[in-house]
Structure 1
């Protein structure tokens, strides 16, 4: 452990509560001409990917908040490291920020998901939070965008000046997109939102709260409708994380956290 984060196989996961997160977000979006900020919601899958992917290692450690997306991470930070920490999962974070927008009048932009899913996510949030101001939404093509298409999207976002941008392109595509564009977008907070679009858009059912709080949400998702897509993530990559974390804690292998790696 160093400072206010905990080293999970080389990724510095921040010990942060939602009250602390709100304070940071309020400060960040006060300057619409300033640089944008990145909230990364990191779980065992993200950490396992970063072991052999130096770009992801840099992106996660370079995020302004590297939140603990996963009950095992939260419990370890709370119980073992004795630090206050909330679960900074994308669905929870977006809901909390949407509620907080009742006071702070945040504006939102949704980028990602299938076309119908993106629209349904917008409708879900607007129904749940009548006060919410979603000023734009877009479902990009699944293929790689041309430089001209990407520039057009960035120009639209900058013209709208959203406070919160939910990026739901899947891991690691959404992480790369945020890293490539965060310096081009001014005064926003970007959240890698992953399956949140599918949850809020109704394509995939979110696990009940008691399962999410138990730490076995991964099992609920694994045996859901996306088994063919998720089995490698939850069986192979989670095993990679457990193995490397055991090596780290035993002292056999050392994994260093290097923060502030902006190019």
Structure 2
């Protein structure tokens, strides 16, 4: 199987102001999500059709340089989150967090009050199930559209969150939709994000693996080697 990053649109420049009347879906991609997407057509379609797809993984940065000679910076979902919190605070706008537990959402609310006091906070913890049914989705649509937030952060883990956004984006009355997964736990303090030292080394994944081996072992020991094989195969294969 060949890595076909030309199928994807990788961008690192995020909007610095709202585009009224236009909806923007932002997703992230890393080696693990790439491997999943190559075996999950709906997830792949959700990523490919993103308005902005940002490289949240040093493997993606490396692949871009080796395959196309293009230098791009890694942009973590956490950085995406902070970017929009700054913008929301400056404009006294509404934000909606969809996902996680009520207790986690409450921790996020309390932190926002201290750090971004002008943001109008709203949230909803959906039922915890593999796939939300029509009744669940109808309830979510109603709650979000009554608020009409500028930014909707979705944290239901990949690929569930990206596929949910892909299926429901046209119904939602929002400007920006961001699937940011683990950021809910990082920002709430449930999980401590690795220090800048590890991030700058491109090894943010290592402390996370040591802290959550049961959850992250597969992406480290299966997806990462598989992605490397994809990359090597693509690099040395004859052009089509």
Do these two structures clear the TM 0.5 threshold for a shared fold by scoring above it?
Answer: yes
Cα offsets for 1:161-192 (capped at 9, x unmatched)? 00111100001111111111101112321111
Cα offsets for 1:34-66 (capped at 9, x unmatched)? 5x3210111111111111111111111110001
Q: Of 11, 15, 18, which residue of structure 1 is paired with 2:11? A: 15
The answer to whether structure 1 residue 228 and structure 2 residue 214 are counterparts is yes
The answer to whether structure 1 residue 131 and structure 2 residue 127 are counterparts is no
Equivalent residue, structure 2, for 1:93 = 80
TM-score (norm 2): 0.89
Secondary structure, counterpart of 1:183 in structure 2:
helix
Alignment of 1:30-179 (within 5 A): 30-31=20-21, 34=22, 36-74=23-61, 77=64, 83=70, 85-134=72-121, 136-143=122-129, 144-179=131-166
Instruction: Work out the CA distance in 2 between the residues paired with 1:244 and 1:168.
Output: 28
CA shift for structure 1 position 85: 3.8
CA shift for structure 1 position 10: 5.8
The answer to whether structure 1 residue 241 and structure 2 residue 231 are counterparts is no
Cα offsets for 1:112-160 (capped at 9, x unmatched)? 11221122122222322222221x1011121243312210110111111
Gaps of 5+ in 1: 1-6, 255-263
Instruction: Work out the CA distance in 1 between the residues paired with 2:138 and 2:91.
Output: 29
Cα offsets for 1:64-108 (capped at 9, x unmatched)? 001111234346657985656443322111111111223333321
Secondary structure, counterpart of 1:120 in structure 2:
helix
Instruction: Work out the CA distance in 2 between the residues paired with 1:205 and 1:47.
Output: 25
Gaps of 5+ in 2: none
Q: How many residues align?
A: 237
Secondary structure, counterpart of 1:216 in structure 2:
coil
Instruction: Work out the CA distance in 2 between the residues paired with 1:173 and 1:87.
Output: 23
TM-score (norm 1): 0.81
CA shift for structure 1 position 246: 1.2
Equivalent residue, structure 2, for 1:199 = 186
Cα offsets for 1:191-210 (capped at 9, x unmatched)? 11110011112211100012
